[in-house]
Amino acid sequence: SLRKNKAQVRFIKFDELYHAFYSNMLLSDKLNYKLDTHNHKWSEFLKLNSFLSMVFMYIVCYLAINSGLLPKASIIAVLIINTRLSVAIISVVNSVYIINVSLYQIKNSLMKLTQGVILPAQNLIKLERIKELTLENVTIESHGRATLSQYNATFSTGSIVIVQGQVGMGKSSFVRSLIAQPPLMYGYIRYNQVNITNIDALTFQREVAYYEPSLSFFKGTLRFNFNLYGVYESERMIFIIKKCCPNMSIDANFLDDV
Protein backbone atom coordinates (compact mmCIF):
# COMPACT_ATOMS: atom_id res chain seq x y z
CA SER A 1 0.00 0.00 0.00
CA LEU A 2 2.99 2.31 0.41
CA ARG A 3 3.80 2.15 -3.32
CA LYS A 4 0.15 2.53 -4.30
CA ASN A 5 -0.32 5.61 -2.09
CA LYS A 6 3.09 7.10 -2.75
CA ALA A 7 1.64 10.51 -3.67
CA GLN A 8 0.20 11.01 -0.18
CA VAL A 9 2.87 9.23 1.87
CA ARG A 10 4.85 12.47 2.31
CA PHE A 11 1.85 14.10 4.04
CA ILE A 12 1.16 11.50 6.72
CA LYS A 13 2.31 11.38 10.32
CA PHE A 14 5.43 9.24 10.14
CA ASP A 15 5.47 8.67 13.90
CA GLU A 16 2.16 6.80 13.61
CA LEU A 17 3.35 4.84 10.59
CA TYR A 18 6.59 3.88 12.32
CA HIS A 19 4.74 2.82 15.48
CA ALA A 20 2.32 0.66 13.48
CA PHE A 21 5.10 -1.14 11.63
CA TYR A 22 7.11 -1.60 14.81
CA SER A 23 4.11 -3.08 16.67
CA ASN A 24 3.43 -5.43 13.79
CA MET A 25 7.01 -6.66 13.93
CA LEU A 26 6.77 -7.28 17.67
CA LEU A 27 3.49 -9.18 17.44
CA SER A 28 4.05 -11.36 14.39
CA ASP A 29 6.91 -10.75 12.02
CA LYS A 30 9.60 -10.77 14.68
CA LEU A 31 8.62 -14.26 15.87
CA ASN A 32 8.47 -15.58 12.32
CA TYR A 33 11.84 -14.03 11.59
CA LYS A 34 13.45 -15.74 14.59
CA LEU A 35 11.97 -19.10 13.59
CA ASP A 36 13.11 -18.78 9.98
CA THR A 37 16.59 -17.70 11.11
CA HIS A 38 16.91 -20.70 13.40
CA ASN A 39 15.80 -23.12 10.67
CA HIS A 40 18.16 -21.52 8.17
CA LYS A 41 21.16 -21.75 10.51
CA TRP A 42 20.42 -25.40 11.32
CA SER A 43 20.05 -26.27 7.63
CA GLU A 44 23.33 -24.53 6.76
CA PHE A 45 25.08 -26.32 9.64
CA LEU A 46 23.97 -29.71 8.29
CA LYS A 47 25.16 -28.80 4.81
CA LEU A 48 28.53 -27.65 6.14
CA ASN A 49 28.94 -30.81 8.18
CA SER A 50 28.17 -32.98 5.13
CA PHE A 51 30.56 -30.96 2.99
CA LEU A 52 33.48 -31.20 5.44
CA SER A 53 32.90 -34.93 5.97
CA MET A 54 33.08 -35.67 2.25
CA VAL A 55 36.20 -33.52 1.82
CA PHE A 56 37.90 -35.37 4.66
CA MET A 57 36.92 -38.79 3.26
CA TYR A 58 38.13 -37.85 -0.21
CA ILE A 59 41.54 -36.71 1.11
CA VAL A 60 41.98 -39.85 3.22
CA CYS A 61 41.09 -42.17 0.32
CA TYR A 62 43.39 -40.29 -2.05
CA LEU A 63 46.37 -40.53 0.31
CA ALA A 64 45.64 -44.19 1.04
CA ILE A 65 45.65 -45.09 -2.67
CA ASN A 66 48.94 -43.25 -3.23
CA SER A 67 50.60 -45.09 -0.34
CA GLY A 68 49.25 -48.47 -1.47
CA LEU A 69 47.11 -49.02 1.59
CA LEU A 70 43.89 -48.93 -0.43
CA PRO A 71 43.21 -51.31 -3.36
CA LYS A 72 42.68 -49.75 -6.76
CA ALA A 73 39.24 -51.27 -6.82
CA SER A 74 38.32 -48.82 -4.12
CA ILE A 75 38.71 -46.02 -6.64
CA ILE A 76 35.04 -46.58 -7.47
CA ALA A 77 34.16 -45.62 -3.93
CA VAL A 78 36.34 -42.54 -4.23
CA LEU A 79 34.60 -41.58 -7.47
CA ILE A 80 31.25 -41.89 -5.74
CA ILE A 81 32.51 -39.68 -2.95
CA ASN A 82 33.86 -37.25 -5.51
CA THR A 83 30.47 -37.11 -7.20
CA ARG A 84 28.75 -36.32 -3.93
CA LEU A 85 31.40 -33.73 -3.19
CA SER A 86 30.68 -32.08 -6.53
CA VAL A 87 26.98 -32.03 -5.71
CA ALA A 88 27.75 -30.39 -2.38
CA ILE A 89 29.93 -27.75 -4.05
CA ILE A 90 27.19 -27.01 -6.58
CA SER A 91 24.70 -26.68 -3.73
CA VAL A 92 26.97 -24.18 -1.95
CA VAL A 93 27.42 -22.13 -5.11
CA ASN A 94 23.67 -22.21 -5.74
CA SER A 95 22.98 -21.01 -2.20
CA VAL A 96 25.40 -18.12 -2.60
CA TYR A 97 23.71 -17.20 -5.88
CA ILE A 98 20.24 -17.25 -4.30
CA ILE A 99 21.46 -15.06 -1.44
CA ASN A 100 22.95 -12.52 -3.85
CA VAL A 101 19.77 -12.45 -5.95
CA SER A 102 17.63 -11.96 -2.82
CA LEU A 103 19.86 -9.12 -1.60
CA TYR A 104 19.65 -7.49 -5.03
CA GLN A 105 15.84 -7.67 -5.02
CA ILE A 106 15.65 -6.26 -1.49
CA LYS A 107 17.99 -3.42 -2.44
CA ASN A 108 15.91 -2.55 -5.51
CA SER A 109 12.68 -2.64 -3.49
CA LEU A 110 14.12 -0.31 -0.85
CA MET A 111 15.38 2.06 -3.54
CA LYS A 112 11.90 2.25 -5.08
CA LEU A 113 10.36 3.02 -1.67
CA THR A 114 12.89 5.74 -0.95
CA GLN A 115 12.67 7.47 -4.32
CA GLY A 116 11.38 11.01 -4.03
CA VAL A 117 12.01 11.22 -0.29
CA ILE A 118 11.79 14.81 0.85
CA LEU A 119 14.96 16.10 2.50
CA PRO A 120 15.13 19.29 4.54
CA ALA A 121 16.48 22.27 2.63
CA GLN A 122 18.88 24.68 4.28
CA ASN A 123 17.83 27.81 2.38
CA LEU A 124 14.03 27.50 2.69
CA ILE A 125 11.68 28.67 5.44
CA LYS A 126 10.20 26.19 7.91
CA LEU A 127 6.79 27.14 9.28
CA GLU A 128 5.91 25.82 12.73
CA ARG A 129 2.18 26.27 12.13
CA ILE A 130 0.04 27.30 9.16
CA LYS A 131 -2.49 29.97 10.15
CA GLU A 132 -3.38 31.62 6.85
CA LEU A 133 -3.55 30.78 3.15
CA THR A 134 -3.54 33.59 0.61
CA LEU A 135 -4.18 33.28 -3.14
CA GLU A 136 -3.12 36.17 -5.39
CA ASN A 137 -4.04 36.36 -9.08
CA VAL A 138 -4.22 32.58 -9.35
CA THR A 139 -4.96 31.30 -12.85
CA ILE A 140 -5.58 27.65 -13.72
CA GLU A 141 -5.42 26.59 -17.36
CA SER A 142 -6.89 23.26 -18.40
CA HIS A 143 -6.59 22.01 -21.97
CA GLY A 144 -5.37 25.39 -23.20
CA ARG A 145 -8.11 27.54 -21.64
CA ALA A 146 -8.34 29.34 -18.31
CA THR A 147 -10.93 27.75 -16.02
CA LEU A 148 -9.92 29.95 -13.08
CA SER A 149 -8.64 33.44 -13.86
CA GLN A 150 -7.05 36.08 -11.58
CA TYR A 151 -8.56 34.52 -8.45
CA ASN A 152 -7.85 36.21 -5.11
CA ALA A 153 -8.84 34.88 -1.70
CA THR A 154 -7.65 34.53 1.88
CA PHE A 155 -8.46 31.59 4.16
CA SER A 156 -7.64 31.23 7.84
CA THR A 157 -7.42 28.23 10.15
CA GLY A 158 -10.77 26.47 10.44
CA SER A 159 -12.12 27.57 7.07
CA ILE A 160 -13.91 24.95 4.97
CA VAL A 161 -13.68 25.44 1.21
CA ILE A 162 -15.30 23.26 -1.47
CA VAL A 163 -13.79 23.11 -4.95
CA GLN A 164 -16.38 21.96 -7.48
CA GLY A 165 -16.76 21.90 -11.22
CA GLN A 166 -17.10 19.67 -14.25
CA VAL A 167 -14.63 16.99 -15.24
CA GLY A 168 -11.49 18.47 -16.78
CA MET A 169 -11.95 21.93 -15.28
CA GLY A 170 -8.66 21.72 -13.35
CA LYS A 171 -9.92 21.00 -9.82
CA SER A 172 -7.20 18.45 -9.07
CA SER A 173 -4.54 20.71 -10.59
CA PHE A 174 -5.70 23.57 -8.38
CA VAL A 175 -5.62 21.47 -5.20
CA ARG A 176 -2.19 20.05 -6.05
CA SER A 177 -0.86 23.56 -6.65
CA LEU A 178 -1.74 24.41 -3.03
CA ILE A 179 0.99 22.00 -1.94
CA ALA A 180 3.37 22.89 -4.79
CA GLN A 181 2.86 19.58 -6.60
CA PRO A 182 3.59 20.94 -9.18
CA PRO A 183 4.28 24.64 -8.52
CA LEU A 184 1.70 27.14 -9.76
CA MET A 185 2.52 28.70 -13.16
CA TYR A 186 0.34 31.82 -12.85
CA GLY A 187 -0.22 33.72 -9.62
CA TYR A 188 1.05 33.44 -6.08
CA ILE A 189 0.20 31.18 -3.16
CA ARG A 190 1.31 32.28 0.29
CA TYR A 191 1.20 30.54 3.67
CA ASN A 192 1.47 32.99 6.57
CA GLN A 193 2.41 35.61 3.95
CA VAL A 194 5.38 33.47 2.81
CA ASN A 195 5.52 32.51 -0.87
CA ILE A 196 4.99 28.77 -1.31
CA THR A 197 8.17 28.49 -3.38
CA ASN A 198 10.19 29.65 -0.35
CA ILE A 199 8.68 27.14 2.10
CA ASP A 200 10.50 23.96 3.06
CA ALA A 201 8.70 20.86 1.77
CA LEU A 202 8.84 19.26 5.24
CA THR A 203 6.44 21.97 6.41
CA PHE A 204 3.73 20.46 4.22
CA GLN A 205 4.56 17.01 5.57
CA ARG A 206 3.95 18.17 9.14
CA GLU A 207 1.08 20.62 8.64
CA VAL A 208 -0.88 19.38 5.59
CA ALA A 209 -3.03 16.27 5.10
CA TYR A 210 -3.40 15.44 1.42
CA TYR A 211 -5.63 12.77 -0.06
CA GLU A 212 -6.66 12.01 -3.64
CA PRO A 213 -9.86 10.09 -4.53
CA SER A 214 -7.82 7.90 -6.87
CA LEU A 215 -5.76 6.63 -3.94
CA SER A 216 -6.83 4.05 -1.37
CA PHE A 217 -6.65 3.41 2.36
CA PHE A 218 -3.49 2.01 3.87
CA LYS A 219 -3.71 -1.61 4.93
CA GLY A 220 -5.04 -1.68 8.48
CA THR A 221 -7.95 -0.31 10.49
CA LEU A 222 -9.85 2.91 9.88
CA ARG A 223 -8.47 4.23 13.16
CA PHE A 224 -4.94 3.64 11.89
CA ASN A 225 -5.68 5.54 8.67
CA PHE A 226 -7.17 8.46 10.62
CA ASN A 227 -4.17 8.52 12.97
CA LEU A 228 -1.86 8.88 9.98
CA TYR A 229 -3.47 12.27 9.34
CA GLY A 230 -3.49 13.46 12.94
CA VAL A 231 -7.08 12.53 13.89
CA TYR A 232 -7.12 10.61 17.19
CA GLU A 233 -10.56 11.13 18.80
CA SER A 234 -13.11 8.39 18.06
CA GLU A 235 -15.97 10.91 18.10
CA ARG A 236 -14.32 13.03 15.41
CA MET A 237 -13.62 9.95 13.27
CA ILE A 238 -17.27 8.89 13.46
CA PHE A 239 -18.39 12.46 12.69
CA ILE A 240 -16.24 12.56 9.54
CA ILE A 241 -17.45 9.13 8.37
CA LYS A 242 -21.11 10.10 8.88
CA LYS A 243 -20.54 13.25 6.85
CA CYS A 244 -19.41 11.01 4.00
CA CYS A 245 -21.87 8.14 4.56
CA PRO A 246 -24.86 9.45 6.56
CA ASN A 247 -26.86 6.21 6.24
CA MET A 248 -24.08 3.99 7.61
CA SER A 249 -24.52 2.67 11.14
CA ILE A 250 -21.13 2.79 12.85
CA ASP A 251 -19.66 2.82 16.35
CA ALA A 252 -16.22 2.87 17.97
CA ASN A 253 -15.75 -0.87 17.38
CA PHE A 254 -16.19 -0.33 13.64
CA LEU A 255 -13.06 1.82 13.62
CA ASP A 256 -10.90 -1.08 14.80
CA ASP A 257 -12.11 -3.65 12.26
CA VAL A 258 -9.56 -4.53 9.60
Domain that holds residue 196: 132-207
- Tell me, what's the pLDDT at 226? 82
Same domain, 83 and 107: yes
Partner residues linked to 145 by β-bridges: 142
Same domain, 110 and 33: yes
- Tell me, what's the pLDDT at 88? 76
Same domain, 107 and 48: yes
Does residue 11 sit within a domain?
no
Q: Determine the Cα angle at 192 with ends 154 and 199, to 5°.
A: 120
Does residue 122 sit within a domain?
no
Pick from 80, 114, 148: which residue ends a domain?
114
Does residue 77 sit within a domain?
yes
- C-alpha 207/C-alpha 48 separation (Å) is 56
Q: What is the pTM of this model?
A: 0.46
- Tell me, what's the pLDDT at 225? 79
- Tell me, what's the pLDDT at 59? 80
- Check if the beta carbon of residue 20 is closer than 8 Å to that of residue 224: yes
Does residue 14 sit within a domain?
no
CATH number at 187 reads: 3.40.50.300
- C-alpha 199/C-alpha 181 separation (Å) is 13
Same domain, 156 and 179: yes
Same domain, 226 and 199: no
Does residue 12 sit within a domain?
no
From the first residue on, what is the mean pLDDT of each consecutive set of 10 residues in the chain (258 residues)? Answer: 63 64 65 74 76 76 74 69 71 78 77 59 78 88 75 86 78 80 79 87 76 70 79 85 82 77
Same domain, 104 and 137: no
Does residue 20 sit within a domain?
no
Does residue 149 sit within a domain?
yes
Partner residues linked to 155 by β-bridges: 133
Same domain, 142 and 195: yes
Same domain, 232 and 198: no
The radius of gyration of the chain's CA atoms, rounded to the nearest angstrom, is: 31
- Tell me, what's the pLDDT at 224? 79
Total of domains in the chain: 3
